[in-house]
Chain A
Amino acid sequence: MRNLFVRETGNYKTTYSNDMKMFGTTGAKIKALLIVIVVLSVPLYVTNYWIGLLTLCAISAVGAIGLNILTGLTGQISIGVGAFLGVGGYTSAILTSTYGLSFWISLPIAGIVTALIGGVFGIPALRLKGLYLAIATLAAQVIILFVISRWDSLTGGTAGMVLGRPTIGEYSLSSNTGYYYLCTIILLLTVMYATNLIRTRTGRAFLAVRDRDIAAQIMGINLFKYKVMAFAISSFFVGIAGALLAHYTMIVSPELYSFHVSIEYLAMILIGGLGSVFGSILGAAFITLLPVSLGSLIDVMAGFMPELYQLFSALKDFVFGAVIILFLIFEPGGLAHIWLNIKKYFKLWPFSY
């Protein structure tokens, strides 16, 4: 019997346009359509609480894909994502709350402003590598957060700002379901953009820069342009994620964008799989749901050990760290690699190779 999991049995691409196609086979098209249908129909059969969680996953996934473009594809480490989320969130908050602009205008502006700031902080990347760049982005994080919490007249200082949910005409997306649709649609667009980016000239330039930047320059890739561009594109998505998150939680304040958030995003792409769009989504879901599942585990355990509740935040940190280390040591390819292995297993079944 024909194996159901096999969709493509070889590489029969004979033209470039064939090679560049997003969905190579009918099977791939059907698969994509099915995923869209499943994603959009989820609110019909899960509870409101889960819709909220999935919304958070989708928002984190947008940010994680953004970061993955920078760290996974271009190989530039950034530990300042938290601050860039903050820039996105604050831009949208200022535009909608202070200036009364519509969410639909402020969302792209939030992305663009974050992209500009990200591009500026990307300039050091031309001279710095690895560890040094990581520290430069850490400095960016500290400085941006400092500016946000000190610029009282614009950002409301440490008290933060309150903002509302977006509206379409008369209809407000105040319910979890409405916001879920907004976020998943943006996530789908982001996924499409990112998968396309990898196959274009720009994406390939990013890969070349990652593998060996000096060699890439010799091949005629303008390092300055592509490094700054990687920072800008990545920050754009992070900014969008920040704005979405701000409108979801309906509050922005500096401590929501601390160093810890940056680490969480880095963990998402490492656990998900560096350079993999699908991996970013898996990683985002994993990291977002980790504290939730830990919480329910503690609810169960608390029957025996009531003091566990006080330990929750510490335990969360502990497990978070342990998960990162275990993944780095035992599965550096991340969840995306595990998924590939599972797929391969079924593809080759019953013979293992």
Chain B
Amino acid sequence: MIFFLQMLVTGIVVGSIYGLVALGFVLIYRASGALNLANGEFVIIGPYICLILMTAYKIPFIFALFITLIFSAILGLTVERLVIRPLQNAPVVSVIMATIGLSSLLGGAVHMIWGHQTRTFPQVFPPTPINISGIIITPVYLWSFVVVIVILILFSIFFKFSKMGIAMRAVADDRHAALSMGISVKYVYAATWTIAAVVAAIGGVLLGNINGLSPTMAAIGLTVLPVVILGGLDSVLGAIVGGFIIGILQNLAGGYLDPLIGGGLKDVIPFIVVLIILMLKPYGLFGSRTIERV
């Protein structure tokens, strides 16, 4: 039972980070209908900068994080301006391919600048694990969970009440209608990419604190795809719930099934889930159905 609960808790924590990264996907999909396959690189660039600021310039974590977020925002803006905006009217495959190209480009840049060895974050969160009746949780895990919940609440408020959030929803709903109502779609796109990059960087910093930092971490960009499909590509809540479900499933499968077949299932189970979901319920748990009229 303890084993099961431990797996469950680990799953929830890993899932919360998945949810955070998935949020970046969802935001971009909602606004521009594009899938950002370079999200994994967005996730790793942030923590690298944070790490360099903390180790080389001895800046305290909070300030380093702040500078990192500003940098990520600039990165998101630049990408939107240079790569995505020229492709605004291009077919889906072009946009997907552009983000794949972007991921290759950014991944190469990360490799070139920071090398491929794994780096560890300086101690930010207290290292002593908390023991809750036999289940062990490290404070980093707890913090990531809290951060994700806070961000989720913030975004719900943002989308519901802020002018920008409502504009984003309008653009997601119907670009042309939004345009004719006086919303600057360009501005909304830029804002979306900025926010997505910032969210990705937060997720990256948390992940870097848990696992250490290496360029291979960018693979999370692909691991998170099943999460968004499960939750529904355009649902913020879906991203978070999907993150939890996939995280828990992954850890349960890793804990119970992997010893039986010799490992590796942990990384594959999300994709099996995805195939099943796509067959049964292509728009995910919370995604909005698009109706095609002929």
- By a beta-carbon cutoff of 8 Å, the part of chain A in contact with chain B is 71, 77, 79, 124, 127-128, 130-132, 134-136, 138-140, 142-143, 146, 149-150, 214-215, 218, 259, 263, 266-267, 270, 274, 311, 313-325, 328-329, 332
Contact = CB atoms under 8 A, between A and B. Distances in A.
B100 A324 contact: yes
Given A132-B278, A319-B108, A325-B102, A150 B94 contact: no
B116 to A, nearest CB: 8
B105 A328 contact: no
Given A143-B271, A218-B294, A321-B104, A315 B112 contact: yes
B268 A267 contact: no
Interface in B270-294: 271-272, 274-275, 278-279, 282, 292, 294
Contact of A135 (B229, B272, B294): B229
B177 interface: no
Contact of A134 (B96, B116, B226): B96
A143 to B, nearest CB: 6
A146 B100 contact: no
B262 A317 contact: no
A55 to B, nearest CB: 25
Contact of A317 (B90, B105, B268, B271): B105
A160 to B, nearest CB: 16
A317 B107 CA distance: 7
Contact of A142 (B109, B268, B278): B268
Contacts, number: 141
B203 to A, nearest CB: 20
A324 B98 contact: yes
Interface in B76-94: 83, 86-87, 90, 92-94
Contacts of B261: 150
Instruction: Please name the 6 residue pairs, one residue from A and one from B, whose CB atoms are nearest each other, closest first.
Output: A321-B105, A318-B108, A324-B101, A314-B111, A321-B104, A317-B108
Contacts of A322: 101, 105
B239 interface: no
A226 to B, nearest CB: 18
A318 B110 CA distance: 9
B97 interface: yes
A146 B264 contact: yes
B275 A136 contact: yes
Main secondary structure of the interface of B (DSSP, over half): helix
B100 A266 contact: yes
A128 B103 CA distance: 25
B137 interface: no
A14 to B, nearest CB: 36
Contacts of A321: 100-108
B233 A131 contact: yes
Interface in B111-126: 111-112, 116
A71 B29 CA distance: 22
Contact of A77 (B96, B278, B282, B292): B96
Contacts of A259: 222
B113 to A, nearest CB: 9
Given A214-B292, A317-B104, A318-B109, A143 B272 contact: yes
Contact of A316 (B83, B96, B108, B229): B108
Contact of A325 (B35, B83, B275): B83
Contacts of A127: 278-279, 282
Contacts of A270: 93-94, 97
Nearest to B268: A146
A214 to B, nearest CB: 5
B241 interface: no
A134 B97 CA distance: 11
Contacts of A150: 261-262, 264
Contacts of B104: 263, 317-318, 320-321, 324
